[in-house]
Amino acid sequence: MRFYLVTIFIALFFVSCSSVDEFNKPALFWYERIIVAISKGNLEQADSYFNSLQSEHIASPLINEALIMLTKAHIDRNEHLLAGYFANEYKIRFSNPKNVDYMPFLAMESNYYAFGSYSKDQGFINDNIDEISHFVTLNTNNKYLPYIRHILTSFKLSQLEINKEIIRIYNIKDKDAAKEKYEQYNEELGVNDIDFIPSHIPWYVRIFSW
């Protein structure tokens, strides 16, 4: 019995020491932990390490880079809300004349990778087309404009697919006026002449689309 008690005591001792070691670490310690966690795909752990970094080293310049890494990692994981959160944190803390062009691009990139199925995200697509079109009109000198225009075109092509499917249905139902209205919408999108690979929609999804 004494042996087991000693074993348990030793185990608890090392656990408590391990827990203590997770506090009062240099900023670089947490920054490296974030990088390792992201590389392993453990974003929940990376987020936790970031919380330790910012709580223990609120003025550390490493927070800047950590926010960018976490934003991009969550974008890659299609975790739009978390990507938006870290992008917004970056904007609040570190927005300046040097990165004023980059911040809106980062937000648009986050949205671009966020939407999954065009048939389920029509409102999201429309909102992004309107917002990005407005941004492009007002910010002609943004150095990321070619990439932003590419994102805008991608959203427009998704909307084009939606409209073509609607036109197909209206054609079947002989609703010529409604069909012509959506054909006009497609003309206004300005992407009719672009060759692209259509989205793949499985037959078992298509038959329940309408």
* Residues 119, 161: Cα–Cα separation, whole Å: 9
* Top-confidence range, 47-56, 100-109, 178-187, 190-199: 47-56
Confidence check: pLDDT of 15 > 50: no
Q: Which pLDDT value is given to residue 81?
A: 77
Q: Which residues contact 6 (CB under 8 A, 6 or more apart)?
A: none
* Residues 37, 63: Cα–Cα separation, whole Å: 16
Q: Which pLDDT value is given to residue 100?
A: 82
Of residues 168, 176, 155, the one with CA closest to residue 209:
168
Confidence check: pLDDT of 55 > 80: yes
**Half-sphere exposure (Cβ direction) of 7: Cα atoms closer than 13 Å:** 4
- The rounded Cα 160 to chain-centroid distance in angstroms is 22
* Residues 49, 27: Cα–Cα separation, whole Å: 10
Nearest-10 crossing angle of helices 62-76, 80-94: 160
Mean pLDDT value across residues 121-134: 88
DSSP 193: T
Q: Which pLDDT value is given to residue 5?
A: 38
Q: Which long-range contacts (CB under 8 A, 24 or more apart) does 60-67 make?
A: 60/27, 62/27, 62/28, 62/30, 62/31, 63/93, 64/90, 64/93, 64/94, 65/31, 66/31, 66/34, 67/93, 67/94
Say if residue 50 is exposed, middle or buried (CB neighbours under 10 Å; 0-12, 13-18, 19+): buried
Q: Which pLDDT value is given to residue 42?
A: 96
Confidence check: pLDDT of 44 > 60: yes
User: What tokens were used for 92?
Assistant: 């609040």
**Residue 60 pLDDT level (bands cut at 50, 70, 90):** very high
Share of the chain above pLDDT 90, in %: 35
- Residue extents of the structural domains in the chain: 1-97, 115-210
Mean pLDDT value across residues 43-68: 94
Confidence check: pLDDT of 6 > 50: no
Calculate the average pLDDT of the chain: 80
Q: Which long-range contacts (CB under 8 A, 24 or more apart) does 122-127 make?
A: 122/159, 122/162, 125/155, 125/158, 125/159, 125/162, 126/159
Among 94-108, 175-189, 195-209, the range scoring the smallest mean pLDDT is 195-209
Q: What are the pLDDT digits (tens) for 131-162?
A: 999 999 999 999 999 999 999 999 998 888 88
Share of the chain above pLDDT 70, in %: 79
Nearest-10 crossing angle of helices 122-138, 145-172: 140
Answer whether 0.85 is exceeded by the pTM.
no
- The rounded Cα 121 to chain-centroid distance in angstroms is 15
Q: Which pLDDT value is given to residue 4?
A: 41
